[in-house]
Amino acid sequence: MLFYVDPGSGVPIFRQLMDQVRTHVAGGVLKPGDEMPSIRSLSVPLGVNPMTISKAYNLLVHEGVLERRPGLPLVVAEHDAGDLADRRREQLRASLAPAAQMAYRMGVEPLEAEALFRELLAAAAAEEDE
């Protein structure tokens, strides 16, 4: 399944879904024109209230990530290459900010943190290649 939720994470479920959609769009997993699962077809396997999914979808439409078409399923909105790169950067920034704050609080030197990030990035690439 493309989406999952962790009710115990402390992050509201609608935010988890929004973050996953943004990540999938930025990473190219979801491409412009791809249809989104219906609210009902997503709520049942995730065990989530349909209103929660509706809220996430509506906010993503408002952001311009998804596009509403009358009488048809929601689709991933068209975007240009520069917009995609910006979305990718913003998604990565949001994910790295807590780690950067933790490294700073722990007194980790920037070069050490950078080396660790490069190591983790290489490990993730190796994992993908398997």
pLDDT attached to residue 81: 67
Tokens of 14: 């609608």
- pLDDT tens digits, one per residue of 16-67: 999 999 989 988 899 999 999 999 999 999 999 999 999 999 999 999 999 9
CA 86 vs. chain centroid, Å, equals 14
Looking at the fold, whether 28 and 63 belong to one and the same domain comes out as yes
Whole-number Å distance between alpha carbons of 114 and 120: 10
- pLDDT tens digits, one per residue of 75-118: 999 987 677 778 778 878 888 999 999 999 999 999 999 999 99
In a domain, 122, yes or no: yes
- Domain containing residue 32: CATH number: 1.10.10.10
The domain boundary, picked from 49, 76, 103, lies at 76
Looking at the fold, whether 99 and 72 belong to one and the same domain comes out as no
Number of compact structural domains in the chain = 2
Looking at the fold, whether 72 and 37 belong to one and the same domain comes out as yes
In a domain, 2, yes or no: no
Give residue 52's domain range. Answer: 13-76
* CA-to-CA separations, 82 to 21, 33, 95, 117, in angstroms, rounded: 18, 18, 20, 25
In a domain, 97, yes or no: yes
Q: Are 100 and 113 in contact (CB under 8 A)?
A: yes
Looking at the fold, whether 17 and 70 belong to one and the same domain comes out as yes
In a domain, 4, yes or no: no
Q: Is the pTM of this model over 0.85?
A: no
Looking at the fold, whether 68 and 115 belong to one and the same domain comes out as no
pLDDT attached to residue 12: 95
pLDDT attached to residue 47: 94
In a domain, 6, yes or no: no
In a domain, 3, yes or no: no
